[in-house]
Amino acid sequence: MDAFIATAEKKVLVEIVKLSQKRGMKGNKGDWKQFLNIYDKKFGASLSDPGKRSNDVLTAYLKTFDKEDDLKVLAKVVQCHSNRQAVDQLLKTFPENESPEQSLVRSTLEHPQYPLDYSFPSHEQDWVVSKRGKKSKAMISNGMVAVDCEMVLCEDGSEALVKVCVVDENLQVKLDELVNPRKKVADYRTEITGVSASDLDRVTCTLADIQKRLKKLLSGETILVGHSLCNDLQALKIDHARVIDTAYIFKYSDGPIFRKPSLNNLCKSVLGYEVRKPGSPHNCLDDACAAMKLVLAKIKREIGDIIPPVQEDVREVNMAKLLLHRIPITVPSEELHNAIPGNYTIEVKQPSVKAQGDKYSAFAIFKNPQEADQAYEKVQGNKEKDSSGRPQKLISFKLSKGVLTDLYLRKMAQDDSCAQVSSKRALEVEENSGVHKKQKTDQNIEEEMVADLSQCCDHLKEIERLKQEQQKVSEQCCDHLKEIEGLKQQLKNKEFEISTLNKIVSKYQGGKKKGK
C-alpha cells in the first residue's frame, strides 16, 4: 500500500482522498479536514480541496490510516486502479487492424462495468493469474474457448465450484468435469445446477486440478468467452485478461448500458432458440456452447450490438409462477415445498458470486395460472404489496427440523388496480428478482448517474444551438467553449469513476458485515 501511494499519480491520490471524505473515513489524525488542521498550521482546513494540495500532503494523509478495515478498503480501491492501468496497457498491445475477435475483447475491456465486475482478489493464495506472452501485435492469438460453471452454496456462506464445461470454436468439448467443493454444502441448488450430493460422492477432481487444465487451454493468449464471465472467473479463481463477455457486447434497444440481457433472452433474440425451458436446471455445456455461438454470430456480422427487448407473453408465463423471496440462506431449497401447497417445481434464482447476501429468492412454477392463484389464496399470511403494487404475503412455516422461519410470497401478475404497470416491467422483475438488495441500490445509483449525464448532454446541446445562432462569435470564444466542453467531459468521466469506486467499497463493506 505504502509503495503504491508513494508512486501514484496525483489524480489517483486525489480520487482516493475524496472517496475517504465521502465515506466518512478517519485515520489516526481524524478525517481529512481534521488532519489538515494538524498537519498544516498555515492554511489548515481552509484549503480543503484535495486537488489543490500537493502529493506530499495527500500521501501523508493516506498514511494515517492504520486500521485493518480501512486498509482493506483502500487496498480495494488501489486494486481497481491497478486493473484500469492493466487494461490500458493491454489495449495498447492490440494491432491497428484489429481482428473481429480482438475488437470484441476491446468492447469488453472498455465497458463501464468492467473495472467493477472484474476487480478480483487475484493476489490471494488460491488464485491463478494467466501470464501474457511476449508476442508481437501481429501475432496475438484469435483462438477462443467458452466456459460455464455451476456453484453450490456452502455452510460458511460462500459459493464453491461443482461443475465446469469448456468448448472450443467448433463447439467441441475440451473440459466437462464435476468438482469436489471440499467444503460442507448447505444447498446444492439442484433445481439450477442439476447436481446433487450423490453426484459428488466419488468425485476427486479439485479446484486446483481444474485451474491447471484451464491454464493449459488459455496458454498462448487464448481468448476466454462466457456470459457474465466475471462470475465464472470468480468461482474458478482465475484472473485472465483477454475475455469476451456476452453480457457486455449486446444491449437492449430500450435500456441503459448497465442492464445486462440474460443468456436465455440473448439466445431467443439472436439465435432464435431458448437455452432452457422455465423450471429446467442449467446445463453447463449448453450455456458454454450458447455463449460461443453468440460470439461467432457477432464475428460473422450476422447481428449488431443492439437487440430488441424480448417480446413474450409475460402475463401468461408469469401468472403461472409465485415468487418466494427474502428466504434465509440457511433454508435449503428442498424445504420450500413445506411453505406453500400444491404441485409445482422450485427454481432457485442464483445470485452472482460477487453479490452474495444472507437471503435468496426462488420461483414456484405451476402448470397453469389457476393453480398458482389457488395456492397463493390458500397460504395464510400478512397481506402486503411490494413497491410495484404486486400482492404478496409474509408467511411462516416449519422446517423439517422443527425450526420456524418466514419469507415473502408474491404474485407475479398485477392486481386489476395495478394493471397500468407494463409487461416490460414484469419481465424486468422476472430477470432481476433474486438479486441482492445491494445490487438494487447500485443500480439506482447508476440510473441517477445516467440521468445526470443525460441532463448534461441536454445542456451541451443547448450550448451548441446558441453557438450556431451566434455566428459572429470570435475564434477565441469558440476555443473557450471547446475547452469548457472538454472539461465537462472530463468531469463526467471522473464522476463515473468515483461512482464505480463507491460501489466497490459498498460491496466490500457489505461482505464484511456478512462475515460478522
What's the CA gap between 339 and 43, in Å, rounded?
Answer: 65
Report pLDDT for 448. Answer: 43
Q: Which long-range contacts (CB under 8 A, 24 or more apart) does 268-277 make?
A: 268/310, 268/312, 269/307, 269/308, 269/310, 270/294, 270/297, 270/303, 270/307, 271/297
Whether 4 and 78 have beta carbons less than 8 Å apart is answered as yes
User: Taking Cα atoms as reference points, which of 213, 184, 215 lies closest to residue 200?
Assistant: 184
Whether 147 and 120 have beta carbons less than 8 Å apart is answered as no
Report pLDDT for 492. Answer: 79
What's the CA gap between 308 and 427, in Å, rounded?
Answer: 13
Report pLDDT for 490. Answer: 81
- Assigned C-alpha cell, 511: 461482505
Whether 247 and 261 have beta carbons less than 8 Å apart is answered as yes
Helices (H), 30-188: 32-39, 55-62, 68-92, 100-109, 114-117
- For residue 428, the number of C-alpha atoms closer than 13 Å in the C-beta half-sphere is 15
Q: Cα 124 vs. chain centroid, distance in angstroms?
A: 21
Strand partners, 163: 150, 178
Q: Is 203 helix (H, G, I), strand (E, B) or coil?
A: coil
Report pLDDT for 449. Answer: 42
Whether 160 and 181 have beta carbons less than 8 Å apart is answered as yes
What's the CA gap between 166 and 323, in Å, rounded?
Answer: 32
Q: Is 4 helix (H, G, I), strand (E, B) or coil?
A: helix
CB atoms under 10 Å from CB of 257, counted, come to 13
H or E element that contains 359: strand 359-365
Q: How far apart are the first and last CA of the chain?
A: 25
User: Taking Cα atoms as reference points, which of 275, 321, 318, 282 lies closest to residue 189?
Assistant: 282
- Assigned C-alpha cell, 448: 441517477
Report pLDDT for 285. Answer: 95
Report pLDDT for 416. Answer: 34
Whether 346 and 355 have beta carbons less than 8 Å apart is answered as no
Whether 327 and 360 have beta carbons less than 8 Å apart is answered as yes
What's the CA gap between 476 and 469, in Å, rounded?
Answer: 17
- Assigned C-alpha cell, 327: 428466504
Q: What is the DSSP letter of 185?
A: E
Whether 237 and 179 have beta carbons less than 8 Å apart is answered as no
Over the chain (516 residues), the average pLDDT of each successive run of 10 is: 72 84 87 91 87 90 86 72 67 76 90 83 81 54 93 89 96 96 90 89 95 90 93 93 92 72 87 79 91 94 70 57 89 88 84 59 87 89 79 89 89 48 36 38 42 46 57 61 79 81 77 60
Three-state SS letters, 382-417: EEEECCCCCEEEEEEEECCCCCEEEEEEEECCCCHH
Report pLDDT for 168. Answer: 96
For residue 502, which phi and psi values (nearest 5 degrees)? -60, -40
Indicate yes or no: pTM above 0.85: no
Report pLDDT for 257. Answer: 65
Whether 191 and 333 have beta carbons less than 8 Å apart is answered as yes
Query: Cα-Cα-Cα-Cα dihedral of 310, 315, 317, 322, to 10°?
Result: 120
H or E element that contains 322: strand 321-328
